[in-house]
A and B are shown apart, each in its own frame.
Chain A
Amino acid sequence: MNRKLAVTIYAGTAIFFALFFVYPIWHTVKEAFVTTDGKLTFAYIGEIFQNPVYVEGLVNSFYMGLFTTILSLLIALPLALLANTWNFKGKEILNSLILVPLILPPFVGALGIKQLLGQAGVLNAFLIDLGLMNAAAPFDWLGEGRLFGVVLMNALHLYPIAYLNVSAALANVDPAMEEAAENLGCHGLRRLWRITLPMIMPGMFAGATIIFIWSFTELGVPLIFDFTRVTSVQIFDGIKDLSGNPFPYALVVVLLILTVAFYLIGKWLFGKEIAVSSGRAATGRSLRNASPLMNAICIGVFVLVTGLAVLPHLGVILLSVSNQWYGTIFPSDFTGQHYFDALGHPLTLNSIGNSLKYASLATVTNVILGIAIAYVVVRTKLPGRQFLDAMAMLPLAVPGLVLAFGYLAMTRQGQLFDFLILGENPILILVIAYAVRRLPYVVRSAAAGFQQTSVTLEEAAQNLGCPPLKSLTKVTLPLIAANLIAGGLLAFSFAMLEVSDSLILAEQQQHFPITKAIYALVSSLGTGPHIASALGVWAMAFLAITITGAGLILGKKMGALFRV
């Protein structure tokens, strides 16, 4: 690679990050600390902590993040332990099914949960039918404030991240570490507690971090649950009057600061890097063949968890084909009409087109940036390339809501990036927002491809007279096409169902992406929720196809994208 080209790519990507990652955050921070006449102030931040509504929102957000993380770990840990100890029947397929919930949009699933656990929902109807509940005073499972429902939905969506991280950490533990404990008399749960858990703690922490950041600032699920007393929703509501109002900015900054603070505290408490001793593992981890009983337990637990996790989405499917579903176990009247409505409705058809447009452009941007960054990081010796790598991974650590808000703030009228809004069309900023958020996945998969492809192949091409850039496109890129396609598909499917950027940045109905259309439909009366469900099912069908494609191309490496 010629150095000039590398430096150009480096500079280009660095500028992109400065403009669309650092600047929006900086812009928000500035608004939160500077008064209209340009003086530094801490009054706005201080005000947040004075206002009981905001404090309650922060506390609820913290609970939402904390309980989601704990519940996700509680679901994932037994699964990972079982899968890393036993060989059981159907393990291959169960092991991939267990990851499915990650790609089901929780925003859509929340509709289903409401239907299942609401006061007039399926569970209550079932209990009333059995005579276990008084029909006149049904129990409200989602509880006052609906924190329970939000946490449940979030955890059922995010536990695969914990599962992947814990599994990877377990696979890296030298089995001799556990055998040594066994050999000295430490067995079973005690061994798990004294040896295994401490050793996988860094891996668990990595997974927990992603889950916490994700759920601490989750917007879509609490919105659907009408759970308004969380900071994310308060920020979303605050967007309606941004001019001259510093509090949404201050809230975003507080959220960002707290995210970083919780991350650091967590890192200090749990994430201490454990340097592995120098000796090499004598044996690979050998899995035991499960006895019939153990087989049944393993299969049962996997099926149960997967089933629970897809239940909300099954509810959505039922909701989408039902005419009447109130206070009964199954819908009392079925119809296919909503699917046609969902495709015929001007709002929905438009939104599908918009989402396809936004997501494809974002994916193209992602792949180009991903190749460029991965190339510089893996194939050059430029000083500071690790910095670029770290930068490309940072969007994983910054809440999507914070970035989305930053984009909104910096493209408002009269601001520096106002020109990115074409008339009223947010397409450019939405594409950039989608691209930045999902860049880590694409960089990760492209970098893996470059690492697996020997540089000598390119050198051979250059040696035969092919110029550097051409040898990259003619030799290496075709070889790593599978990685790029997989990373791209993943970015695409996440972009199709992205929530915070979509809800915040798309303001005009004709520019709504799918998620915003669903949100608008849910809050409308009549058949709105049913049409929203039908639209959600269309979206999930789209996703299923893309993800299956990615899975076929990438095979087992799929999981590697979600590890940190």
Chain B
Amino acid sequence: MVSIQIRGLVKRFDDVVALNQLDLDIQSGELFFLLGPSGCGKTTLLRSIAGFHLPDEGSIQFDNDDVTNVPPHKRETAMMFQSYALWPHLNVFRNVAFGLEERKVNKAEIKERVDEALVMVKMEGLGTRKINQLSGGQQQRVALARALVVRPRCLMLDEPLSNLDAKLRIEMRGEIRRICKEFGLTAIYVTHDQKEALSIADRLAILDGGNIAQVGTPEEVYRRPRTALVAGFIGETNLLKGEVAFISGENVYVKTSVGDLAGRPSDPQQVPEPGTAVTLSIRPECLSIETTPPARNEIAGHLTESIYLGEVAQYSLQSPGREEPFHISELNPRRVIRDTEQKLYATAKPEDVVILPDS
């Protein structure tokens, strides 16, 4: 399995810059996710790695071997397409066997490996089916088998689950991770579904405007986002502008329109100086709601909305200093507050208040 090194990659479509001086390293055997809002360049990046786009500048290396100008059919990657791209004129077996036939594998081995691949995706015995006789989930499995059977140097998945219903999606994403790990595959997975990424990625990259906004493990990216965009894209968050007042130990105190709040910098290496303009990110589930003033990090206000969802209660707290209400999620709510008159307080632990550079 290959490791992939991308250096200074630029891809333009007419006047639109799809990839802008992008650098990225993907480790061998890693299940790596590309995530981002639509138009961020994630699909362009995937297709460039597969060889479908020729970059305008920069290089792509597999195991430090330059493949920038190698055409797609010689890269030995295998892509699973969003539309599956199963050929309707070939049956299931012939679809899966295609890549092996192109690699001039002998007939007996093709038979053996295709059968093996079909077993792996739980499609054994369905080799003679036509593509249009398959359900969406089965088509997805065939597409996966077709990509896996050639033992690619790198497996690429382009929103492979977007055509499936929610239940099947959850089942299949576990399946994909199991297979990738079983074979130690280097896999690159494009999605816009953050749950998919958080649940099975080894590492993920958030793309924004043709560049990498952040690379890290799911926990790192969720707990310590580096920019407001990343914080807002992965999960929900409350963003709040402010100015650093003073620093005390690990805590950085920030003066905001709703009062002083203590937080921690997203990057512990880069503690902002007092006087710097910053943005705070506080996840709804990090805020708790109190009826009496808490010891610190208090945000006072009134409820404008409360929604009970069983396992969670969602509140909107309007604070005088901020136009938008704060979103608060309380897990395992024992009682729901509905009183809009009562003065209430939201609070968060300093380690849950992430200080980001002002965007």
Report A-chain residues with C-beta under 8 Å of the C-beta of B76.
185
Give min CB distance, B306 to chain A, whole Å: 40
Chain A 172-202 interface 0/1 with B at a Cβ cutoff of 8 Å (1 = within): 0010110111111111000000110011010
Give min CB distance, B40 to chain A, whole Å: 15
Interface residue B319 (Cβ < 8 Å from any Cβ of A): no
Give min CB distance, B18 to chain A, whole Å: 12
Interface residue A36 (Cβ < 8 Å from any Cβ of B): no
User: Once the chains are docked, how many angstroms separate the CA of A283 from the CA of B50?
Assistant: 15
Give min CB distance, A288 to chain B, whole Å: 10
Report A-chain residues with C-beta under 8 Å of the C-beta of B73.
182-187
B71, B77, B89: residue with the most chain A Cβ atoms closer than 10 Å: B89
Q: Contact between B102 and A199 (Cβ–Cβ < 8 Å)? A: no
Interface residue A4 (Cβ < 8 Å from any Cβ of B): no
Report B-chain residues with C-beta under 8 Å of the C-beta of A183.
50, 72-73, 75, 77-79
A176, A195, A279, A280: residue with the most chain B Cβ atoms closer than 10 Å: A279
B50, B78, B84, B159: residue with the most chain A Cβ atoms closer than 10 Å: B84
Give min CB distance, A205 to chain B, whole Å: 13
Q: Contact between A179 and B72 (Cβ–Cβ < 8 Å)? A: yes
Q: Contact between B83 and A184 (Cβ–Cβ < 8 Å)? A: no
Report B-chain residues with C-beta under 8 Å of the C-beta of A282.
43, 81-83, 158-159
- At the interface with chain B, which of A269-277, A314-322, A396-404? A269-277
Interface size range of chain A in the complex: 20 to 34
B51, B85, B132: residue with the most chain A Cβ atoms closer than 10 Å: B85
User: Once the chains are docked, how many angstroms separate the CA of A430 from the CA of B132?
Assistant: 47
Q: Contact between B98 and A277 (Cβ–Cβ < 8 Å)? A: no
Interface size range of chain B in the complex: 35 or more
Interface residue A281 (Cβ < 8 Å from any Cβ of B): yes
Interface residue B150 (Cβ < 8 Å from any Cβ of A): yes
User: Once the chains are docked, how many angstroms separate the CA of A199 from the CA of B85?
Assistant: 12
Residue of B with least CB distance to A181: B98
From residue 52 to 77 of chain B, which have CB atoms closer than 8 A to chain A?
52, 71-77
Known: A187-B71, A279-B139, A282-B159. A195 touches B87 (CB 8 A): yes
Q: Contact between B87 and A279 (Cβ–Cβ < 8 Å)? A: no
Report A-chain residues with C-beta under 8 Å of the C-beta of B342.
none
CB < 8 Å: which of B82, B89, B99, B131 contacts A185?
A: B99
Interface residue B37 (Cβ < 8 Å from any Cβ of A): no
Interface residue A278 (Cβ < 8 Å from any Cβ of B): yes
Interface residue B125 (Cβ < 8 Å from any Cβ of A): no
Q: Contact between A277 and B86 (Cβ–Cβ < 8 Å)? A: yes
User: Once the chains are docked, how many angstroms separate the CA of A280 from the CA of B82?
Assistant: 8
User: Once the chains are docked, how many angstroms separate the CA of A54 from the CA of B99?
Assistant: 52
Query: In the complex, how many residue pairs between chain A and chain B have their CB atoms under 8 Å apart?
Result: 97
Report B-chain residues with C-beta under 8 Å of the C-beta of A277.
83-84, 86, 88, 131-132, 139
Interface residue B167 (Cβ < 8 Å from any Cβ of A): no
Interface residue B103 (Cβ < 8 Å from any Cβ of A): yes
User: Once the chains are docked, how many angstroms separate the CA of A198 from the CA of B94?
Assistant: 14
Report A-chain residues with C-beta under 8 Å of the C-beta of B86.
277
User: Once the chains are docked, how many angstroms separate the CA of A281 from the CA of B82?
Assistant: 8
User: Once the chains are docked, how many angstroms separate the CA of A195 from the CA of B86?
Assistant: 11
Give min CB distance, B276 to chain A, whole Å: 43
Interface residue B163 (Cβ < 8 Å from any Cβ of A): yes
Report B-chain residues with C-beta under 8 Å of the C-beta of A185.
73-74, 76, 99, 102-103, 150
From residue 110 to 130 of chain B, which have CB atoms closer than 8 A to chain A?
130
Report A-chain residues with C-beta under 8 Å of the C-beta of B88.
199, 274-277
Q: Contact between B132 and A275 (Cβ–Cβ < 8 Å)? A: yes
Q: Contact between A279 and B163 (Cβ–Cβ < 8 Å)? A: yes
Known: A184-B98, A185-B99, A185-B102. A177 touches B71 (CB 8 A): no
Known: A275-B132, A277-B132, A282-B158. A176 touches B83 (CB 8 A): yes
Residue of A with least CB distance to B74: A185
Residue of A with least CB distance to B72: A182
Report A-chain residues with C-beta under 8 Å of the C-beta of B163.
278-280
Report B-chain residues with C-beta under 8 Å of the C-beta of A281.
83
From residue 495 to 513 of chain A, which have CB atoms closer than 8 A to chain B?
none
B72, B77, B87, B136: residue with the most chain A Cβ atoms closer than 10 Å: B87
Q: Contact between A184 and B71 (Cβ–Cβ < 8 Å)? A: no
Residue of B with least CB distance to A279: B83
Q: Contact between B99 and A184 (Cβ–Cβ < 8 Å)? A: yes
Chain A 199-217 interface 0/1 with B at a Cβ cutoff of 8 Å (1 = within): 1010000000000000000
Report A-chain residues with C-beta under 8 Å of the C-beta of B159.
282
Report A-chain residues with C-beta under 8 Å of the C-beta of B74.
185
Interface residue B141 (Cβ < 8 Å from any Cβ of A): no
Report B-chain residues with C-beta under 8 Å of the C-beta of A177.
85, 87
CB < 8 Å: which of A186, A187, A199 contacts B98?
A: A186
Q: Contact between A279 and B84 (Cβ–Cβ < 8 Å)? A: yes
Residue of A with least CB distance to B84: A279
Please name 23 pairs of A and B residues whose Cβ atoms are closer than 8 Å in the assembled complex, sorted by A.
A176-B82, A177-B85, A179-B50, A179-B72, A179-B85, A180-B87, A181-B87, A183-B50, A183-B75, A183-B78, A183-B79, A184-B78, A185-B74, A199-B87, A199-B89, A275-B132, A276-B132, A277-B88, A278-B139, A279-B81, A279-B82, A281-B83, A282-B82
Q: Given A180-B85, A186-B73, output 19 extra A-B contacts at Cβ < 8 Å.
A: A176-B82, A179-B52, A179-B79, A180-B87, A184-B98, A184-B99, A185-B103, A187-B71, A194-B98, A199-B87, A199-B89, A201-B89, A277-B86, A277-B88, A277-B139, A279-B82, A280-B83, A280-B163, A283-B43
Q: Using a CB–CB distance below 8 Å, which chain B residues touch chain A?
A: 43, 50-52, 71-79, 81-89, 98-99, 102-103, 130-132, 136, 139, 146, 150, 158-159, 163
Q: List 10 tightest A-B contacts by C-beta distance, closest first.
A: A184-B99, A279-B83, A275-B132, A176-B85, A185-B102, A282-B82, A180-B85, A187-B73, A198-B89, A176-B81
